[in-house]
Amino acid sequence: MSLTGITLRQLQWWDERRIVVPARAGHRRVYSNEDLAEVAVICELRRRGFSLQRVRKVMRFLQREFSKRLAETVIGSSDYHLLTDGRTLYLETSARQIVDILKNSRQPMLAICLSDTVRQVRADIRHAEKKASAGALRPVRRKAS
C-alpha cells in the first residue's frame, strides 16, 4: 500500500487479528478512508517502537475515548495529541494540557499528533485520486504505422 508503506501481508495479518478490519467484496479486502487513517496511525506507532500488543491497547483506548472511528473524530480544526510515558496514555486537544503533562512527567514522553497523521492520509488519497483521474483523461497517443 503506497499510502502507508505497509505490505499487503501485514494488512492481511492485522485483519486476521482484528486490528483493522476492512469491508469485503467477495474475497477482496476493501479499505475505507477511515481504515486507512487507522492504518496510518498504527504505522506511526509501530515506527515509534510500539509493540503490536501496545498498539492494540492504544486503538482500544482511542475507540473508548471517541466512541467512533478515528477519522470521523478528526474532522474539524482541533488537534488530537496522543501522549504516553510507556504506561499511561493521554489524549489531549489543549496545548496547555499537553505542556502540563510534559512538565509534570518524571520520564520521557512520546507525543503523536493524530490529527496530522489523519490529515496526511486524506491529502495522499486526494492526490492519488487526482492523479488517477488525470491519467484516465489523458489521450492515448499511438505510433503511426
E strands present in 3-88? 23-25, 28-30, 81-84
Answer whether residue 24 shows pLDDT above 90. yes
Answer whether residue 98 shows pLDDT above 80. yes
Q: Where are the domains of the chain?
A: 8-130
Angle between helices 33-47 and 114-137 (to 10 degrees): 130
Answer whether residue 34 shows pLDDT above 80. yes
Residue type at 24 in one-letter notation: R
Answer whether residue 6 shows pLDDT above 70. yes
Instruction: Compute and round to an integer the Cα radius of gyration of the chain.
Output: 19
> For the residues 86-109, what does the mean pLDDT come to?
85
Q: How confident is the model at residue 137 (pLDDT cuts 50, 70, 90)?
A: low
Angle between helices 33-47 and 8-16 (to 10 degrees): 100
> For the residues 82-101, what does the mean pLDDT come to?
86
